[in-house]
C-alpha cells in the first residue's frame, strides 16, 4: 500500500522535479500541521492567500451557512445569487467611486484574461504592454504577459502584439502610445523578488495612460487585501487604475478572482457578440460567501492598520551581514541572499525548525517572507530567530 507522498508523485501531475513534498494534515491560524504532529509557522500564506490566517472561524461559518443553501446553480451572470451580489457591493464600498462593477472569476489568471479582453474591446485597440519580469498567471493569455523569454519560447506561439517595458523605468513610458489598449502591471512586482516601484513612476505611468487613452490595469492579485499595509497597494501611489485585478487573498482561502472597473468599461462584454466573457464556476456562491466574511474579518480586526508595525519588527530583527537587502512593503517582504543554494538550505533548515518560507519564481536568490497578517509579535520574534540561525549556518 503506497503512502500519500508516493501517490502524490505517482498520480498527481508534477510542476517541477523538486516539489517541497511537505505533507499537510491540517491548517489553523498562522500554522500548518503535518500528519505526525509536525507544526510549521506559515510565512508564505499559500503565496499571499491566507491574509487572515487559515480557517478563520467567521469564514468557516459563512461557508457552512452557504452550504446549507446552495452550491453551484448556474453559469455566472444569469441568476441573482446573494453571495455574489452582497460581496460585490461590499467590495465596491471599499474602493474609489470610479469602480462600479465587479466580474467574478475562479482565479487570478482568469481575471487577467477577462481584463485583457475588456481593454481591447473598450479601446478598439490590440496592443497590450506589460513589464519585464512580470508574472500574471499561467493561462496562454496571462503567460503572454510574462516578462521572461524562457516561457515565451517554450510555449510559443503566445498572444501577438504584446510589448514589454522595464518596470519602474520612466524612460520606457514613451512606448505607451495611442495604439496601446492597456498597460497591465503589478502594483508591486511579486515573483520578480518583490520590487517596489517609485511613487513618481506610478504617477507618471497613470499620466501617460491618460494622455494616450490607454487603460491602466493593476494586478493586485498578490498585493490586495491588506498585504502591503493598505487595503489595496494602488493607495500607496495616490492614483486609481482603470481596472483592478484581484484573486488569492480575496476569498479567505477559497478559490475566487475578480476584475473591477467602471460600468462603461465592463459593459463592452454584454453584446456584439453577447456573452463576450463567460464562466461556469466564476463567483462560486461558497467562495463569495467566504470572501464577504474575509473582508469583514480584515476590517473588523483592523488587520491592515497593524501591518506597518509588524513589517518594522521584521526589519528590525532581521539584521545579518549576509542579508544583502530586505525589499518589500508591509508583509510582502523578501530577504535577498547571494545564491539559490543559500536560499534552498536556509528554507529547508527553517522547515525542519518549524518555519515555512520559500523563494520566488523569477528570483531564486531571495527568501519569501509573507505571513498571515494575523501573525503576533511573539511569533515574528520566534520566526526571525530561526531564519537568522539558518542564515548563520548556511551562508
Ligand atoms: N498575478 C500575480 C501577480 C500572481 O502572483 C499570480 C499567481 O501567483 C497570478 C496573477 C495568477 O493567479 P492564479 O494562480 O490564481 O491564476
* CATH number for the domain harbouring residue 180: 3.40.640.10
User: With b meaning 16 or more CB within 10 Å and e meaning fewer, what string describes 76-99?
Assistant: bbeeebebbeebbeebeeebeeeb
**Global pTM?**
0.98
**Beta carbon of 216 within 6 Å of any ligand 1 atom:** no
For residue 353, report the distance from its CA to the centre of ligand 1, in Å.
29
The number of beta carbons lying within 10 Å of the beta carbon of residue 275 is: 11
User: How many residues are given for the chain?
Assistant: 395
Written as nine digits, the cell of 307 is: 501591518
In a shared domain, residues 377 and 343: yes
Written as nine digits, the cell of 125 is 485597440
**180 and 262 belong to one structural domain:** yes
Q: Each residue of 91-142: pLDDT tens digit? A: 999 999 999 999 999 999 999 999 999 999 999 999 999 999 999 999 999 9
Helix (H) or strand (E) holding 369, with range, is strand 363-369
Q: Which domain holds residue 39?
A: 4-55+302-394
Cα dihedral value 166, 168, 172, 176, nearest 10: 100
- Dist. CA 381–CA 145, nearest whole Å: 38
Q: Are residues 291 and 383 in the same domain?
A: no
Helix (H) / strand (E) element for 327: namely strand 325-329
Same domain, 362 and 384: yes
283, 307: one domain = no
> What integer is the mean pLDDT of 146-170?
96
- Indicate if ligand 1 lies below 6 Å from the C-beta of 105: no
Give the confidence band of 35 by pLDDT, cuts at 50, 70, 90: very high
Rounded Cα gap, residues 347 and 355, in angstroms: 8
Q: What's the pLDDT at 101?
A: 98
Cell numbers linked to 330: 508591509
Q: Does 235 share its domain with 154?
A: yes
| Shared domain check, 312 and 190 | no
Whole-number percent of the chain with pLDDT over 70: 100
Query: Among residues 300, 331, 348, which one ends one of the domains?
Result: 300
**Is the Cβ atom of 109 under 6 angstroms away from ligand 1?**
yes
Q: How many percent of the chain have pLDDT more than 90?
A: 98
- Domain co-membership, 291 together with 169: yes
Beta bridge partners of 328: 333
Four-residue CA torsion sign, 207, 210, 213, 216: positive
Residues 102, 331 contacting (CB under 8 angstroms): no
Q: Given 300, 321, 341, which residue is the final one in a domain?
A: 300
Ramachandran area for residue 56 (φ above 0: left; ψ -120 to 50: alpha; else beta): beta
Query: 286 and 211 share a domain?
Result: yes
The CA-atom distances, in angstroms, between 55 and each of 52, 124, 199, 315 are 9, 44, 35, 28
Quote the cell numbers at residue 95. Answer: 474602493
Contacts of 108 (CB under 8 A, 6+ apart): 136, 137, 142, 219, 221, 245, 246, 247, 248, 257
Supply the pLDDT for residue 119: 98
Residue with CA nearest ligand 1 atom 7 = 137
18 and 138 in a common domain: no
Count of structural domains, the chain = 2
Q: Is the domain of 227 the same as that of 120?
A: yes
Is-cis flag, bond preceding 157, omega within 30? yes
Residue 278 is predicted with a pLDDT of: 95
- Per-residue confidence band for 200, with pLDDT thresholds at 50, 70 and 90: very high
Taken in order 254, 281, 62, 36, the sign of the CA dihedral is negative
- CA–CA gap between residue 64 and residue 56 (Å, rounded): 12
CATH number for position 368: 3.90.1150.10
Place 2 in a pLDDT band, splitting at 50, 70 and 90. very high
Judgement on whether residues 252 and 284 belong to the same structural domain of the protein: yes
The rounded radius of gyration (Å) of the Cα atoms in the chain is 21
Question: CB count, 10 Å around CB of 327?
Answer: 19
Task: Give the residue, by CA position, lying nearest to ligand 1 atom 13.
Answer: 108
Q: Tell which of 243, 272, 300 closes a domain.
A: 300
- Segment 305-325 mean pLDDT: 98
222 lines ligand 1 (CB under 6 A): yes
Please give the Cα distance from 49 to 56 (Å, whole number): 13
Cα(187) to ligand 1 centroid in Å equals 13
Is the C-beta atom of 45 inside 6 A of ligand 1? Answer: no
302 is written with which cell numbers?
A: 483592523
Amino acid at each position: 500500500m503506497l503512502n500519500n507522498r508516493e501517490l502524490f508523485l505517482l498520480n498527481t501531475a508534477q510542476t517541477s522535479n523538486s516539489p517541497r513534498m511537505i505533507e499537510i494534515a491540517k491548517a489553523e491560524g498562522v500554522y500548518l500541521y503535518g500528519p505526525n504532529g509536525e507544526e510549521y509557522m506559515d510565512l508564505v500564506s499559500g503565496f499571499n492567500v491566507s491574509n487572515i490566517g487559515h480557517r478563520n472561524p467567521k469564514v468557516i461559518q459563512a461557508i457552512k451557512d452557504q452550504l446549507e443553501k446552495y452550491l453551484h446553480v448556474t453559469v455566472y451572470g444569469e441568476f441573482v445569487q446573494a453571495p455574489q451580489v452582497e460581496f460585490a457591493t461590499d467590495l465596491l464600498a471599499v474602493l474609489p467611486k470610479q469602480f462600479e462593477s465587479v466580474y467574478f472569476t475562479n482565479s487570478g489568471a482568469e481575471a487577467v484574461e477577462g481584463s485583457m479582453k475588456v481593454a481591447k474591446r473598450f479601446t478598439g485597440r490590440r496592443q497590450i504592454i506589460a513589464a519585464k519580469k512580470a508574472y500574471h498567471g499561467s493561462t496562454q493569455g496571462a503567460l503572454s504577459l510574462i516578462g521572461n523569454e524562457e516561457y515565451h519560447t517554450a510555449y510559443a506561439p503566445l498572444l501577438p502584439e504584446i510589448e514589454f517595458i522595464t518596470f519602474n523605468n520612466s524612460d520606457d513610458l514613451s512606448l505607451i502610445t495611442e495604439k496601446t489598449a492597456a498597460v497591465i502591471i503589478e502594483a508591486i512586482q511579486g515573483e520578480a523578488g518583490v520590487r517596489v516601484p517609485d511613487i513618481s513612476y506610478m504617477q507618471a505611468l497613470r499620466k501617460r495612460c491618460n494622455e494616450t487613452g490607454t487603460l491602466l490595469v493593476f494586478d493586485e492579485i498578490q498585493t490586495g487585501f491588506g498585504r502591503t499595509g493598505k487595503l489595496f497597494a494602488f493607495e500607496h501611489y495616490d492614483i486609481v487604475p482603470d481596472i483592478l485585478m484581484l484573486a488569492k487573498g480575496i476569498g479567505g482561502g477559497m478559490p475566487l478572482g475578480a476584475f473591477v472597473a467602471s460600468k462603461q468599461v465592463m459593459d463592452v462584454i454584454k453584446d456584439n457578440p453577447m456573452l463576450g466573457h463567460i464562466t461556469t464556476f466564476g463567483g462560486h456562491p461558497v467562495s463569495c460567501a467566504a470572501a464577504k466574511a474575509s473582508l469583514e474579518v480584515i476590517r473588523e480586526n483592523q488587520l491592515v492598520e497593524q501591518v506597518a508595525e509588524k513589517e518594522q519588527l521584521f526589519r528590525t530583527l532581521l539584521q545579518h551581514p549576509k542579508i544583502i537587502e530586505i525589499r518589500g512593503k508591509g508583509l510582502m517582504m523578501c530577504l535577498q541572499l547571494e545564491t539559490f543554494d543559500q536560499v534552498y538550505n536556509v528554507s529547508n533548515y527553517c522547515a525542519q525548525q518549524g518555519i515555512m518560507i520559500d523563494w520566488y519564481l523569477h528570483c531564486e536568490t531571495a527568501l519569501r517572507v509573507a505571513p498571515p497578517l494575523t501573525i503576533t509579535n511573539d511569533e515574528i520574534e520566534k520566526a526571525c530567530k530561526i531564519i537568522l540561525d539558518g542564515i548563520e549556518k548556511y551562508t
